[in-house]
Structure 1
Amino acid sequence: MAKMSKWFSLVMAGTLALSLTACGGSKSSDGSASSNAGSGGEKTETVKEKNVTITFQNIYPDPTDPKNKLMNKLVKQYETEHPNIKIELDSLNTDQQKLKLKTQAASKEVPDITVVNPAAQMQPFVEAKLLAPLDDMLDQNGLRGTFQDGLLDWYSFDGHTYAVPDGNNIGVVYYNKELFEKGGVNVPTTFEDMLDVVKTLKQKGIQPMAIGEKDTWTGSFLFMNMLLRTNNGPGFLKDVLDKKKTFEDPAFKEAVDAFQNLIQAGAFQEGVTSFDYNAGENLFKTGKAAMYFMGTWATGGIETSSVNGKVGVFKFPTINGKGNPDEFMLAPGSAFAISADSKHLDETKAFLNWFMVNFPKEAFEAKGAVGIGQKVDGDFKAAGYSDMAMEVLNLFKGVKGGDLAFDNTMNPGTAQAHLTSIQNLFVQKKDSAEVAKEHQAAFEANNK
């Protein structure tokens, strides 16, 4: 629980903090950022002389995403300043990347830079000694101090940090004000109101919600917010792990029923399991859906889409009078890790250090700084951030607690069973007691 308490303070810091004084990095004699971060004293000129290709696996495949643009900008800048270095991008959506990394890890061929998720999701890679400790890299050019207080704890094991996160977010409902007005509906304050909004929009030919359930984490992320409500607060999965509850608890079955009620009301688009994350989000970003539940990392992409200026946000409401809307799904973000077996470990650490030191400033200028995991120094409103972005920042200020995603809490076997079970609900309605038994059986099988 110490980590969770730290999250509450750091999520507050993430809305206002900031010091980008470190963002220029330490300077070498030619004016570029030092190239020997984490090199253990290797001379900069030695690094410069070697022709090196660094494989940079990432989850920024969408060219309309501000993070994709700033990644490419920073990569090109680094290659210009370091002509001996070639950064080879491997851009994948989230589920593709997870699957690819699993395959690469099995053959011990993890790319120079890869993407991991916090806590339980990355722990197997750490235990298999596939990831390099990044403590030395974090101590170069003030990088450690750019992160929100406590955030790096989610990526640390046995006193060492193994990844650096790009985000720190909460789950919210984005809504298209124009479509709400067209449908004659208001922002719902209860789940029962939300079902009525869905039905009314559907009757008027407006797609109520969008989701990309081909990437199974998206449905789970929404479901877990509903469980956060029916459980009347956070900690359900922790109670299961501590054997204080089972998945057959009434709160879990109530969440399954509520989730299925939303699906059966026609909330989501046809063929939902064939839409990946980007395709689902693009339905909302192109004005083809009225609501979209997602982490606040989506803010930047929405701001640069055709619906910019038409979007607001609201907290997921209570369910059957249960839950606190100021408790959110908490999402310490995906993070960059370095292969312990990288053939270019020093050069890779030098690049990632430079990339992350410069990331906050570039994200702010690209209007992609809402929800990043580092401190940002700047006036968001004066910089042209939208009213929606300011709404999101205000929601951060009111966070009273919450839960992490299922697969950041449970082991991989239990998590995979859960993701499959929830995805199946989009295809066929099931008795909630049966869904609960599926989960409990998977938990027991994977926790012997």
Structure 2
Amino acid sequence: MSHLVRRSKSAIALVLSVMLVLLLAACGGGNKDNNAASSGSSSPSASPSASEGSASGEQVTIKYWTWVPSADDYKPIIEAFEKSHPMIKVDLTVMSSLDYQQKLPISLSTGEELDVVGVQPNMVKQLQPYLEETDGLMKQYVSDDWQSQFDPTSITQAKKLSDPMVMVPVGSTGASFLYYNNKMLQDLGLQAPKSYDDLKNIVKTVKEKRPGVLPLSLGGKEGWILDEIVLTLLTQKSDLFNKIRYKEGGKWDSPEYLEAVKEFKQWIDDGVISQDVIDLDYTRALETFTTGKAAMFIQGSWAASMLSSKYKSTNNIALEDIGLTAIPVMSAGGKPTVRSFLDIGMGVSKNSKHKAEAAEFVKFMTLGEGADVLGKLFVVVPSKVGFTPDLSDLNATGQESFKKMQELIASAGADRNNLGSFSSDVVGPELQRMLLTKTPPEDIAKNIQKEFDTGKYLK
């Protein structure tokens, strides 16, 4: 009998315990997300979504839109994410940069249920109303000290774009680099140019000994690349771009910018840049170089995938040895440098119904395996602290070039926080006009400043 009484008392105690737990859960359950956000837990497992699952416990699909890298490059990244997160699927859409700039703001503003979007720096102000604030999101789903896991410069630059931040840093790039066919140069008894005289000599030698080869290829049809060259020449001696960009009194018709435009005109007068490039867009300019029909090529560090043996094999690029270097300094007092900025970010849409899963994907892409794979593609230098590139896929020239690229990006002379359409719609066409008509640099600088004074480009 006493045995039955003890069992009854135990059963009653158990029932009371369960009822108490249920009661407490009912009182606190309606504020679960807010409690998680304010608790300050530094453990990702404290978030509503388990690292390998979804917040709902059911399989969900998140929509991810971006412009870089290619869908083929993303395939192994997304496969790895879905393998480690079996309850989350990723519906990927990759567009060209121009299409992306046009379509993304419309889609977000009309309420399309996107979850994660790639963020270009020059789009932040436009996208800010439609993106979740980064700090609260990352504190809730990653950790209170999430910013310490990123390179401090990338956080500073993200805050320059919007404060509060609405994008998580992915990585930085430099503006313009000079790529070169190292084997072709060696066959001609030449080396990568370290000075403008070296550059002129390469152009002269290629014209004489390789008459069917374009000495320097670039997408001159897209005027922004000409702007990139001029701004790089400017930054070799001045941080004027930052003074203009951040309203610190800089002007486009100042002596510093005029000197850079004159140096660019010298490239034209010396035949370093020929009118042949005005018919080349990015794709054709790249193809001209990768098929051995050009000795050199100017483009940003996002083209550094060409250093990779695997990339060359996958894309049928037969060039044996590709290197990159800084654009040569034009005159005394300058130093080889680039403009660099946080070039790729990720944001979570306010329209998303799967914010926990979206944040999990962002964490994977910026602090996890996704960032490492992006780094191996050599299209970006990841912003996460402790990233070490795997250079085993690069030959000696490639390894030396990549290290040089990292050093230049880390010590950039100015921000590459560009002014949206001002480069492509205003500056680019003016520089194209100088290339075609030999318009005086003074007129170019005055025209650029006159249009800038309208106030349409720097709010």
Into which bin does the TM-score normalised by the smaller protein fall?
A: 0.7 to 0.9
Correspondent of 1:117 among 103, 113, 120: 120
Tell me how far 1:225 sits from its aligned partner: 0.4
**Which has the greater radius of gyration?**
2
Q: Distance in 1 between matches of 2:403 and 2:127?
A: 33
Does the 8 Å contact 1:299/1:389 carry over to 2? no
Deviation string, structure 1 residues 161-211 (Cα, Å, up to 9, x no partner) = 321233223343221112213444443333244234223323432222222
Does the 8 Å contact 1:35/1:351 carry over to 2? no
Correspondent of 1:440 among 434, 449, 454: 449
- TM-score, length-scaled by structure 1: 0.75
Please name the residue that 2:98 is paired with.
Answer: 95
- Identity between Structure 1 and Structure 2 (%): 18
Secondary structure of 1:254's counterpart equals helix
Q: Quickly say closer, same or farther: Cα 1:308–1:165, change in 2 above 3 A.
A: farther
Please name the residue that 2:228 is paired with.
Answer: 221
Q: Distance in 2 between matches of 1:237 and 1:110?
A: 36
Q: Quickly say closer, same or farther: Cα 1:111–1:270, change in 2 above 3 A.
A: farther
Please name the residue that 1:58 is paired with.
Answer: 67
Tell me how far 1:214 sits from its aligned partner: 5.0
Please name the residue that 2:356 is paired with.
Answer: 346
Deviation string, structure 1 residues 235-265 (Cα, Å, up to 9, x no partner) = 3451576464422223322322332343451
Secondary structure of 1:174's counterpart equals strand
Please name the residue that 1:16 is paired with.
Answer: none
Does the 8 Å contact 1:60/1:92 carry over to 2? no
Does the 8 Å contact 1:208/1:289 carry over to 2? yes
Does the 8 Å contact 1:166/1:335 carry over to 2? yes
Does the 8 Å contact 2:338/2:413 carry over to 1? yes
Q: Distance in 2 between matches of 1:202 and 1:421?
A: 28
Q: Distance in 2 between matches of 1:144 and 1:72?
A: 28
Please name the residue that 2:5 is paired with.
Answer: none
1:164 equivalent in alignment to 2:171: no
1:267 equivalent in alignment to 2:285: no
Does the 8 Å contact 1:240/1:246 carry over to 2? no
CA RMSD of aligned residues (A): 3.6
Q: Quickly say closer, same or farther: Cα 1:266–1:188, change in 2 above 3 A.
A: closer
Correspondent of 2:330 among 311, 314, 319: 319
Q: Distance in 2 between matches of 1:370 and 1:444?
A: 34
Q: Quickly say closer, same or farther: Cα 1:377–1:242, change in 2 above 3 A.
A: closer
1:33 equivalent in alignment to 2:51: yes
Please name the residue that 1:179 is paired with.
Answer: 184
Please name the residue that 1:18 is paired with.
Answer: none
**Counterpart amino acid of residue 325 in structure 2:** F
Deviation string, structure 1 residues 317-345 (Cα, Å, up to 9, x no partner) = 222324112x3221322212222223433
Matches within 5 A, 1:368-383: 368=378, 371-378=381-388, 380-381=390-391, 383=392
Does the 8 Å contact 1:167/1:297 carry over to 2? no
User: 5+ residue gaps in structure 2?
Assistant: 1-42
Q: Distance in 2 between matches of 1:413 and 1:379?
A: 34
- Which has the larger helix fraction? 2
Q: Quickly say closer, same or farther: Cα 1:393–1:288, change in 2 above 3 A.
A: same
- TM-score, length-scaled by structure 2: 0.73
Correspondent of 2:215 among 196, 201, 208: 208
Q: Quickly say closer, same or farther: Cα 1:316–1:151, change in 2 above 3 A.
A: same
Please name the residue that 1:355 is paired with.
Answer: 365
Does the 8 Å contact 1:273/1:426 carry over to 2? no
Tell me how far 1:133 sits from its aligned partner: 1.3
**Counterpart amino acid of residue 181 in structure 1:** Q
Q: Distance in 1 between matches of 2:67 and 2:241?
A: 31
Q: Quickly say closer, same or farther: Cα 1:79–1:244, change in 2 above 3 A.
A: closer
Greater relative contact order (CA < 8 Å, ≥ 6 in sequence): 1
Matches within 5 A, 1:76-155: 76-80=79-83, 82=85, 85-104=88-107, 107=110, 109=112, 111-118=114-121, 121-126=123-128, 129-139=129-139, 140-141=141-142, 144-155=147-158
Tell me how far 1:85 sits from its aligned partner: 4.1
Q: Quickly say closer, same or farther: Cα 1:199–1:340, change in 2 above 3 A.
A: farther
Secondary structure of 2:413's counterpart equals strand
Q: Quickly say closer, same or farther: Cα 1:133–1:223, change in 2 above 3 A.
A: same
Does the 8 Å contact 2:230/2:260 carry over to 1? yes
**Counterpart amino acid of residue 49 in structure 1:** E
Q: Distance in 2 between matches of 1:292 and 1:62?
A: 25
User: 5+ residue gaps in structure 1?
Assistant: 1-24, 37-43
Matches within 5 A, 1:386-405: 386-387=395-396, 388-394=398-404, 396-397=406-407, 400-405=411-416
Q: Distance in 2 between matches of 1:373 and 1:122?
A: 18
Please name the residue that 2:338 is paired with.
Answer: 328
Q: Distance in 1 between matches of 2:387 and 2:413?
A: 26
Deviation string, structure 1 residues 139-179 (Cα, Å, up to 9, x no partner) = 44466444222312222366533212332233432211122
